[in-house]
Structures are given as C-alpha cells and as structure tokens.
Amino acid sequence: MAYTLILAHFLGDFPLQPNWMASRKSNFWVLSLHVSIHFIVMLLLVGQVRLLIWPYLLLLTLVHMGQDRLKVALTNLWPARTVFFFFIDQLLHYSAIWGLTVWIRALNPNLVNTQTRLWVIIAIAYLVVTYTWYISERVINHADAEYLKNIEETKIARMLARGGLVSLFPLVRAATLPYLAVLFSWPYPASIYRKRALFSDVGISLLVIIFLLVTLR
C-alpha cells in the first residue's frame, strides 16, 4: 500500500502538476485542483480497497494541502531556501504516507495487502529516474539560468539516457560501463555543463538501480 501511495504522489506532484499549477499554488483554487488530482490518482491506484479506505485517503489529501500551503508561504518568505523547502516538503509527504499506511494496518491488518505489485515498484523507479529527476534538478538549480536552459534543451534525451541505463543494468551488468561511455556521449552536447549533467544523471540512475535491487530481491 505504501509504495502504491508513493507512486500516486510522484504522479500527482510531477507529471500531473504542470508549471502553471506549481507556480500558482498560492491560489486556493489552483491548490485545490492539485490535491484533487492527488486524491483521484490514489483512488485509481489502490484498487477495490478504495471503497473502504477513501476517508483515510481524503485525510491524506487534506494533510497534503496543508503542507503545500505551508511550503508556499515559507518559500515566499525565504526564496533563497527554495531547495531546502522543496526537499523538506517531499520528506513530509512521504512521512505522511508511511504514517497513514501504518495507521490503516493497525486498525485492520487484513485491509492492506502487504504484497507490493511488481509494476508499482518498476513504475516508481522509471518515474523517479525520468520526469521526477528532471523537475527536481530544475528546482535544485533554480538560480542558475544558463544551466536551466541546458536542462530544458536536453531534457528528453537525458530522460531516455537515464531510463536506458536503469533498463540495461539488470540485463547486461558486465557491459554497463562500456554502455555508459556510448549512451552518455549522445544526450550531452559539448558545453561547460556536460560533466555536471553527466554526473547528475549517472548518480540518480545508480540510486534508482540500488532501489530496484533492494526492493526486488
């Protein structure tokens, strides 16, 4: 259940939250739309158990709304700490999901299926290594206009490169290093940012590979 809700969170907070929505969450109705999308995605992903746990998911949605309002307020007060507030906000969301899952299981141990479906784990991995990291890297480098431009220009190629590395690793581990040399010569045009982008993408790809190795063993 926890992994399913984390997948719903990644979907709602990244690909299903376009730039216009992320930049206007100080508006009550925009924020309401954002958390409503989260609620709908959670209902869709949890399956038939939604009929029993929807009140808990609604509570999680309201908590999410409160956390986002706080993050927006703090970011407006201290824009220099945007990156810090971004990661604290994400950590709080994951903590709320974990806490809700523990609470549901404590109330009814038979209600939550403890066996995570394989596709959920794989979907989390690919979402993190592609779009989620694309947005996260933009936030981390929000003050560097030139590098942001570079991120936008190479975003699709870099997503494919990171996804390709994660895909190929379980199949041909012995060839991973030669594969890196070939793959990562493609999405990065010669520029002062090439090494920086390469280090970023290899790092997040390896973290996701470790996540897969640990969760799927």
Model pTM above 0.75? yes
Tell me: pLDDT of 213 over 60: yes
Residues 48 and 125 grouped into a single domain: no
Read off the pLDDT band of 22 (50, 70, 90): confident
**Which of 46, 81, 115 represents a domain boundary (last residue)?**
115
Domain count, the chain: 2
Going by C-alpha positions, the residue among 65, 57, 63, 51 that lies closest to residue 4 is 57
Q: Are residues 211 and 110 in the same domain?
A: no
Residues 6+ apart with CB under 8 A from 71: 85, 86, 88, 89
Q: Residue 203 has what pLDDT? A: 85
- The answer on 196 and 104 residing in a single domain is no
Residue 170 clears pLDDT 80, i.e. is over it: no
Do 23 and 92 lie in one domain? The reply is yes
CA–CA distances in Å: residue 133 to residues 36, 65, 99, 127, 140:
23, 22, 25, 8, 10
Q: What whole-number distance in Å separates Cα of residue 11 and Cα of residue 46? A: 14
* 99 and 132 belong to one structural domain: no
Same domain, 73 and 88: yes
Tokens 């694309």, residue?
134
Query: Do 174 and 195 belong together in one domain?
Result: yes
Query: For the purposes of burial, counting CB atoms within 10 Å of the CB of 144, is it exposed (0-12), middle (13-18) or buried (19 or more)?
Result: middle
Domain boundary among 69, 98, 115: 115
State the pLDDT at residue 97: 93
Say whether both 180 and 137 belong to one domain. Answer: yes
Do both 52 and 126 map to the same domain?
Answer: no
Q: Which of 115, 140, 166 is the last residue of a domain?
A: 115
Across the range 42-67, mean pLDDT stands at 89
105 and 125 belong to one structural domain? no
pLDDT of residue 176: 55
Provide the domain limits for residue 172. 121-215
Burial of 91 (0-12, 13-18, 19+ CB in 10 A): exposed
Tell me: do 58 and 140 sit in the same domain: no
User: Is 146 within 8 Å of 89 (Cβ atoms)?
Assistant: no
User: Which pLDDT belongs to residue 168?
Assistant: 75
Range with lowest mean pLDDT among 30-44, 113-127, 151-165? 113-127
Tokens of 104: 């549901």
Q: Over 70: is that where the pLDDT of 180 sits?
A: no
Whether 26 has a pLDDT exceeding 70, the answer reads yes
